[in-house]
Amino acid sequence: MTYLLLGSALLLFAIGMPVAFAMVISAAAAFFSLGNVPLMVLPQRMVTGADSFPLMAIPFFLLAGNLMIAGGLTEKLSKLATVLVGHLRGGLAQVNVVNSMVMGGMTGSAIADAVSDCRILVPVMVKSGYSARFSAALSGATSVIAPLIPPSIPFIIYGSIAGVSIGQLFLAGAIPGILMGIYLMVAVNIIARRRNFPRGTRPTLRGILAALRTSGPPLMLLVIILGGILAGVFTPTEAGAVAVLYALLLTMVFYRSVRPQAVPKILLETGVQTGVIMLVIAAAAPFSWLLAREQVGESIVALLSFIGDNELLFLLLLNITLLILGMFLDATALMIIVVPVLIPVFLALGLDPVHMGVVVVMNLMIGLVTPPFGLVMFVVCSILKVRIAEFSREIWPFLLALILTLLTITYIPDLVLFLPNMFMR
């Protein structure tokens, strides 16, 4: 049955069927092959998979991010990034990196960050002499930072599946997200020197203070979310609702950059984004249940006997496997499928599920920009009219930086667990 389930899913993926429909059809085929399991279990598992209180945070954080973007607050944050690093060699490229680090605290979504960069920063970069293909590759690579900097939608999904504190995952992603930015800035610096990219003008003290003043209110969103969770004032789901309220006050009252007439469109966009994510989550639930029923996780644990208790080798194999899978499959669906299988393995090896959550999410997010089927790659190339081949040639230095970051946080778990251990244990 396992071969039928996985084989039919891969076949349907290969012919271009949407991920959610492919998983439902392959799961239905597996149910038919079993014969002793009623088909009614399929919709029951789909409903159960989506019926999770922590998942309610997803539409809230999506709506808060969409309100901030619609209100033009991303432009204010971009000005802060320009003040901080715009005077360096390849200044606008460095701004792209820092902007994604700041944007992560608003959207928690790689796609939202990539779209924002393509619409706001890339036109300025192209006018300043940067090629469209370089700008596209950089925007795709930097978007991977957003799901690591809290709040993070992938961490919400992982936490709800693995039974791990979402607050701890939020804290655990902060240092790895900053490290990704530092590694990417180093890569940009090397490329900028080789290609003689221009520098920006060094900011004045008055300009720095002005940028901090205008960007301060949007940055407070991250402080409110993490501060409220750490203080025990509200749960991550309630934090999403608070984030929406703060975004509404900021964009409609404080800045008055979002008119009431624009709210229905923003709600519609958020509803569509939420619907896509929840459909994939619901469709993947019976798929992962079937894998658990066939004891795939236990089989993997048994296979570990061939490598003994060598954590270093297991982590290397885990990263290679997830990176390859992430190149071809939807990140959300893949997480729902593999996490229930991997949790028993993590426990058998004594690995911290919070640390492993960051490793899993980072792997799958890197897959979003990795040729040949990375979703963010397709989004960026579509917006900027860049060919996939051109994107692929430019992305490799940035992929190397991202993979080096991944290996760093994989083998130095204290970088991931330092903040959760300090504040929540």
pLDDT on residue 404 = 96
The span from the CA of 122 to the CA of 142, in Å, is 12
φ, ψ of residue 89 to 5 degrees: the values are: -60, 130
pLDDT on residue 414 = 94
Confidence check: pLDDT of 304 > 60: no
More confident residue, 288 or 158: 158
- One-letter amino acid of 301: V
Confidence check: pLDDT of 43 > 70: yes
> Which residue in this structure is represented by tokens 């991920």?
19
Apex 364 CA angle, 98 and 54, nearest 5: 90
* Contact residues for 243 (Cβ-Cβ < 8 A; gap 6+): 60, 61, 64, 151, 221, 224, 225
Confidence check: pLDDT of 74 > 70: yes
pLDDT digit string, tens, across residues 143-165: 999 889 888 889 999 998 888 98
Check: pTM over 0.85? Answer yes or no: no
More confident residue, 326 or 411: 411
Q: What is the mean pLDDT of residues 271-294?
A: 83
Q: In terms of DSSP H, where are the helices of 86-204?
A: 91-103, 110-127, 132-143, 153-162, 166-195
Length of the chain: 425
Q: How many CA atoms lie within 13 A of 288 on its CB side?
A: 26
pLDDT on residue 298 = 59
Q: Where are the domains of the chain?
A: 1-39, 54-424
Q: What is the mean pLDDT of residues 288-307?
A: 67
pLDDT on residue 27 = 87
pLDDT on residue 380 = 87
